[in-house]
Amino acid sequence: MEKLTKEQIDKALKVLKMPADSKLVTHLNACVHCGLCATSCMYFIALQNDKYIPARKVELVASLYRRYCTLTGKIVPKLVNARELDEQMAEEMIDILFGACTMCGRCVKHCSIGVDIAYVVRVGRQMLAAMDLVPATLQATVDAALTTGNNMAIPTEEFVDTIQWMEEELMDEMDDKNARIPLDEKDKHFLYTLNPREPKFFPLSISAMAKIFYAAKESWTLSSKMYDVTNYGLFSGNNEHAAVIAQHLYDEVKRLNANTLVLGECGHGSRATRWEGPNYLGMEYDFDVITVVELINDYIRSGRIKLDKSLIKERVTMHDPCHLSRNGGLESELRFALNNSVSDFVEMTPHGFDNFCCGGGGGQLAMSEYNDRRIKIGEIKAEQIRKTGASIVVTPCHNCIDQLTQINHTYKLNVKIKSIAEIVADALVIEK
Amino acid sequence: MYWYHWTTILALSICLSVLFWHFIRLIRLGKPKDYSRKSGSVTEGIVYSSTKAMVDHKESAYLHIPTYFAGMVYHIGTFVSLFLYVFFLLNILIQIALPQWLVWIIAAGLLVSSFCGFSLFMKRLLLKSMRSLSNLDDYLSNLLVSLFQLFTLLNLLYSSSIEPVYYIIASLMLLYMTVGKLKHVVYFFAARYHLGFFYGWRNVWPPHKTK
| B106-150 confidence digits (pLDDT tens) | 999 999 999 999 999 999 999 999 999 999 999 999 999 999 999
CA B58 to chain centre: 20
Strands of the sheet containing A392-394, edge to edge, are: A345-346, A316-318, A392-394, A416-418
C-alpha A334, offset from chain centre: 15
Q: Is the torsion defined by CA of A277, A283, A284, A286 positive or negative?
A: negative
Q: Which residues of B123-145 are buried (b: 16+ CB within 10 A; e: fewer)?
A: bbeeeebbebbbbebbebbbbbb
Pairwise CB contact (< 8 Å): A327 & B204: yes
Q: B 145-204 residues with CB below 8 A of A?
A: 179-181, 183-184, 187-188, 190-195, 198-199, 202-204
Specify whether the CB–CB gap between A367 and A138 falls below 8 A. Answer: yes
Query: Does residue B190 fall inside a structural domain?
Result: no
Strand A306-307 relative to strand A428-429: parallel, antiparallel, unpaired?
antiparallel
Which residue is closest to B71 within chain A, CA to CA?
A: A34
pLDDT of amino acid B211: 44
Q: Is residue B200 part of a domain?
A: no
Answer yes or no: is pLDDT of B209 > 60: no
For A428, the 3-state DSSP assignment is: strand
Q: CA–CA separation, A86 vs A93, rounded Å? A: 11
Q: CA-nearest residue of chain A to B140? A: A79
E strand or H helix that includes residue A69: helix A54-69
Minimal Cα–Cα distance from A385 to chain B, Å? 21
Closest listed residue to residue A19, CA positions, set B194, B68, B121 = B194
Give the CA radius of gyration of chain B: 20
B206 within domain boundaries: no
Work out the angle at residue A365's Cα, subtended by the Cα atoms of residues A364 and A366, and round it to the nearest 5 degrees.
90
Residue B170 structural domain: 3-38+63-181
For B178, which residue in chain A has the nearest alpha carbon? A72
Average pLDDT over residues B182-196: 97
pLDDT value of residue B69? 95
Residues 6 or more apart whose CB falls under 8 angstroms from that of A7 comprise none
Contact A34 B194 (CB under 8 A): no
What's the rounded Cα separation, in Å, for the pair A398 and A321? 10
- The whole-angstrom separation of Cα A377 and Cα B93 is 62
Look at residue A417 and give its three-state secondary structure. Answer: strand
Counted domains in chain B: 1
Q: What pLDDT, on the 0 to 100 scale, is given for residue B60?
A: 86
CB A37 within 8 A of CB A117: yes
B99 touches chain A (CB under 8 A): no
Higher confidence at residue B158 or residue B76?
B76
| Within a domain: B55 | no
Considering CB atoms only, which of A56, A78, A114 is closest to B192?
A114
Nearest residue of B to residue A277, measured between CA atoms: B36
By CB neighbour count within 10 A (0-12 exposed, 13-18 middle, 19+ buried), where does A165 fall? middle
Residues of B in contact with A119 (CB under 8 A): 198
Q: Which of B25, B175, B195, B203 to mutate to test the interface with A (most CBs of A within 10 A)?
A: B195
What is the rounded CA–CA span in Å between residue A337 and residue A292?
11
> Residue B103: which pLDDT band, with cuts at 50, 70 and 90?
very high
Please give the residue of chain B at the shortest CA–CA distance from A326.
B204
pLDDT of B160 above 90: no
Average pLDDT, chain B: 95
CA closest to A55 among chain B residues:
B133
Residue B168 lies in a domain: yes
pLDDT reported for residue B208: 73
| Stretch (H or E) spanning A64 | helix A54-69
Residue B72 C-alpha, separation from nearest chain A C-alpha, in angstroms? 11
Query: Above 90 in pLDDT, residue B61?
Result: no
Is B36–A276 a contact, with Cβ atoms under 8 angstroms apart? yes
Residues shown for chain B: 211
Q: How many residues does chain A have?
A: 432
Contacts of A111 in chain B (CB under 8 A): 60
Tell me the residues of chain B between 63 and 92 that have a Cβ less than 8 Å away from chain A: 63-64, 67-68, 71
- Looking at the partner chain, which of B39, B64, B198 has a beta carbon nearest the beta carbon of A36? B64
CA nearest neighbour of A334 among A275, A260, A421, A415: A421
**Which residues from B are below 8 Å from A117, CB to CB?**
none
Chains A, B: CB pairs < 8 Å: 176
Which residues, in sequence order, are CB contacts of A267 under 8 Å at separation 6+?
A321, A322, A323, A324, A328, A361, A396, A397, A399, A400
Q: Which among B28, B137, B208, B209 is the top mutation candidate for probing chain A, defined by the most A β-carbons within 10 Å of its own β-carbon?
A: B137
H-helix segments, A149-291: 156-174, 197-200, 203-215, 233-236, 239-256, 267-270, 277-281
Query: Confidence class of residue B57 from pLDDT cuts 50, 70 and 90?
Result: confident
Pairwise CB contact (< 8 Å): B60 & A40: yes
Contact residues, chain B, for A34 at CB < 8 Å:
60, 67, 71
The Cα–Cα gap between A206 and A220 comes to 13
The Cα–Cα gap between B109 and B113 comes to 6
Per CB-CB distance under 8 Å, the chain B contacts of A275 are 36, 202
Running DSSP on this structure, what letter comes out for residue A346?
E
- Kindly state whether residue B187 falls inside one of the protein's structural domains: no
Best CA proximity match to A393, nearest among A432, A358, A425: A358
CA-CA distances (angstroms) from residue A397 to A51, A105, A270, A309, A347?
29, 17, 9, 22, 17
How far does CA A265 lie from the centroid of its chain?
9
Helix (H, G, I), strand (E, B) or coil at A91: helix
**Which segments in chain A show pLDDT lower than 70?**
none
Measure the N-to-C terminal CA separation of chain B; round to a whole number of Å. 63
Asked whether residue B121 is domain-assigned, the answer is: yes
Q: By C-alpha distance, which of A275, A203, A232, A193 is closest to A364?
A: A232
A394 φ, ψ (degrees, to nearest 5) = -105, 135
Write out chain B residues lying below 8 Å of A113, CB-based.
184, 188, 191
**Residue from B24, B47, B209, B210 to probe the interface with A (highest A Cβ count within 10 Å):** B210
Residue contact B60–A111, C-beta within 8 A: yes
| Residues whose CB is less than 8 angstroms from the CB of residue B47 and which lie 6 or more positions away in sequence, other chains included | B196, B206
- Window 31-50 of B: residues touching A by CB (8 A cutoff) are 31-37, 39-40, 49
Contact A120, A58 (CB under 8 A): yes
Q: What's the pTM?
A: 0.96
Which of B26, B36, B54 is the closest to A26 by Cβ? B26
- Enumerate residues 6+ apart whose C-beta is below 8 A from A86: A4
Q: Over chain B, what HEC string results?
A: CCHHHHHHHHHHHHHHHHHHHHHHHHHHHCCCCCCCCCCCCHHHHHHHHHCHHHCCCCHHHHCCHHHHHHHHHHHHHHHHHHHHHHHHHHHHHCCCCCCHHHHHHHHHHHHHHHHHHHHHHHHHHHCHHHHHHCCHHHHHHHHHHHHHHHHHHHHHHCHHHHHHHHHHHHHHHHHHHCCCHHHHHHHHHHHHHHHHHHHHHCCCCCCCCCC
Report how far Cα A94 is from the mean position of its chain's Cα atoms: 20
- The pLDDT of residue B95 is 86
Confidence class of residue B210 from pLDDT cuts 50, 70 and 90?
A: very low
> What three-state secondary structure class fits A408?
helix
Neighbours of A88 (CB within 10 A): 11
* Close Cβ partners of A395 (under 8 Å, ≥ 6 residues apart): A318, A319, A320, A321, A358, A401, A404, A417, A418, A419, A420
